[in-house]
Structure 1
């Protein structure tokens, strides 16, 4: 037992030296995760902070000007054009100079004074449906609030029900509060899988794998010696991304660091098993890299990172059950934002244990058969 442990430790040391002695490898293990986290945190956002719009005001009354002032003063909408006639709408939308065109009818003030509900038309550029839908919702919220406030100021009865909203776990509804914690698992999986998949392939290309076979190492010891360094590097990269989320983006952490690292350990065990399987069947680094990318893209698309799993076709929802990234994102969100404990996280933890219990033995079996 002691001899086995010493051999594994020697192989772990060899793997870490092979990775960390190269300056390019050191930079590639530290810089890309941090840069990707910063880029995703700023670029991958659904928040609308500057919506260009054009205005067509048929009413030109004091009330319509007050509504326009509220739109312009919201900090979200920027007026890029003031139109005179409706035929100008098509040109400004087609040229993508404005995302929205807001048309105020000529009876807007009279309608409000009569207690009616005049319609404000919003024409949106639907080529980007998500952005257009969000911008329309912002306009609707501002117009509804303006109408209610104006009716109250005039002594008229307001709407029978007034909705008040409150967002739990993300009070300001910032996209990066959702995106950056999810990157702890996403970026770590990308780097760890590729590192593990190319470990054996690199030795095959360099000719050192045959030397490894004539040593007293068993196939299972080789697999453990390849897996542990990748998991150590994965946990280090997770820590770097966590520090960026905490210190740079200042996203408050609500849960337990011990629970987070337990979940990450189980996730990396499952991910390393997949990487070792790719490494066992790849003959060179090019095949290992291609195999990693072939699996990484479906894993990311079926993880719930960019689209809710409940909105996917039912057949694809079943495929997400074998995706370790799905559970890693769920665990990081629950721990980071909700402060979840072991009872809430137990289903995701058990799912990762089940995936690791399949991928690691299967990778070991592939190693034994490829080495024979």
Structure 2
């Protein structure tokens, strides 16, 4: 019976991976370590910032501003400068990210209701960090400004804007990072395991045995397809449990929708892996081919930077990237209870990618068997 042949091939593929100590180590150890390390280390939050202040004002408001900056948990150290030259050297040598200069008339101008002199110099070599630090400093200065006599007089005449952050009210970066890692690490593991599959058969000399076995071409491909998907679903389950119980990420949506989309996501990933494996003659070539796809896939997925911010000519390239679609589903299910219509809209491209890549892998596999 065909299903008995298929079952035997699936068991063989699973044993080939799980019996090898090195393969077991790759499948179990690194994914867990990556999830833990990246969840804490891969962050766009700016913490432990060093800044320098040159305070030439001897009044109350200059000292108050310095004290508020020193009290902020964002800043690790607030050094005092004695001259503008010292500020310049600190920025030049990257000893500080920002340098603040408070003019001698700062307090007098505030009491008189005039614009007060305050200069913030940022290290443009750290463009992202410096802009975030600038935002922190503007917030501190804005709070101080509202408490000055002029600020209190104008407060009643102004419209207050109170921002609220939906889906992540405390702006916890792990709530953003961990769901992204669920999809990204599953791509990494699924692609590498599948890419090594046929190449390993060629190196071990068992590829010829597959060719003369009663298995048909589509049965061999299905047998190669199912084990990596089982492994991928296992990893995704572990990541979901870690996200909820270790990192405290809320799971607001449906697990059924998440797993349904994950099935087609893994099918598209395995299709890409099988195509790479069918092209490769050695496992080394398969690994290089997998990483050749992985790096652009990560960069063009919207993981770190929105796709809308990319150049217009580059955005169409992301259409063939399965990670792009599954990231939307994972973050949507975790953080905002994404509706069924949106899950289907993101899953349909995954189905198309899976069909195209598996068809291409089957065609190439037949060509290699002839």
Common fold by TM > 0.5: yes
How far 1:257 sits from its partner (Å)?
Answer: 1.0
Q: Distance in 1 between matches of 2:75 and 2:148?
A: 21
Q: How many residues align?
A: 369
- Contact 2:50–2:96 (CA<8 Å) still a contact in 1? yes
Task: For residues 311-353 of structure 1, give each alpha carbon's deviation from its aligned partner in whole angstroms, at most 9, with x where no partner exists.
Answer: 1011110011111010011111111111112112221111111
Q: Distance in 1 between matches of 2:58 and 2:239?
A: 52
1:171 matched residue in structure 2? 169
Report 1:1-372 matches (<5 A): 3-151=1-149, 155-158=152-155, 160-372=158-370
Task: For residues 190-212 of structure 1, give each alpha carbon's deviation from its aligned partner in whole angstroms, at most 9, with x where no partner exists.
Answer: 11111101111101101111112
How far 1:155 sits from its partner (Å)?
Answer: 5.0
- Contact 1:100–1:123 (CA<8 Å) still a contact in 2? yes
- Contact 1:80–1:97 (CA<8 Å) still a contact in 2? no
SS in 2 for 1:314: coil
Q: Distance in 1 between matches of 2:51 and 2:73?
A: 13
SS in 2 for 1:254: coil
TM-score (norm 2): 0.96
Task: For residues 126-172 of structure 1, give each alpha carbon's deviation from its aligned partner in whole angstroms, at most 9, with x where no partner exists.
Answer: 111000000001100110011102337x8522372332111111112
Distance 1:120 1:42, change over 3 A: same
Structure 1: runs of 5+ lacking an equivalent: none
Q: What CA RMSD, in Å, does the superposition of the two structures yield over aligned residues?
A: 1.4
How far 1:108 sits from its partner (Å)?
Answer: 1.3
- Contact 2:200–2:283 (CA<8 Å) still a contact in 1? yes
- Contact 2:31–2:185 (CA<8 Å) still a contact in 1? yes
Moved more, 321-330 or 337-346: 337-346
Task: For residues 221-263 of structure 1, give each alpha carbon's deviation from its aligned partner in whole angstroms, at most 9, with x where no partner exists.
Answer: 1110011000000111112222221222111111111111111
How far 1:88 sits from its partner (Å)?
Answer: 0.9
SS in 1 for 2:101: strand
SS in 2 for 1:227: helix
Moved more, 139-148 or 165-174: 165-174
SS in 1 for 2:215: coil
Q: Distance in 1 between matches of 2:45 and 2:58?
A: 31
Q: Distance in 1 between matches of 2:66 and 2:293?
A: 50
Structure 2: runs of 5+ lacking an equivalent: none
How far 1:80 sits from its partner (Å)?
Answer: 3.8
- Contact 1:93–1:100 (CA<8 Å) still a contact in 2? yes
How far 1:360 sits from its partner (Å)?
Answer: 1.2
Task: For residues 36-65 of structure 1, give each alpha carbon's deviation from its aligned partner in whole angstroms, at most 9, with x where no partner exists.
Answer: 111111111111222111010111211111
- Contact 1:33–1:241 (CA<8 Å) still a contact in 2? no
Q: Distance in 1 between matches of 2:125 and 2:117?
A: 24
Q: Distance in 2 between matches of 1:337 and 1:155?
A: 39
Q: Segments of 4+ in structure 1 off by > 6 A?
A: none
TM-score (norm 1): 0.96
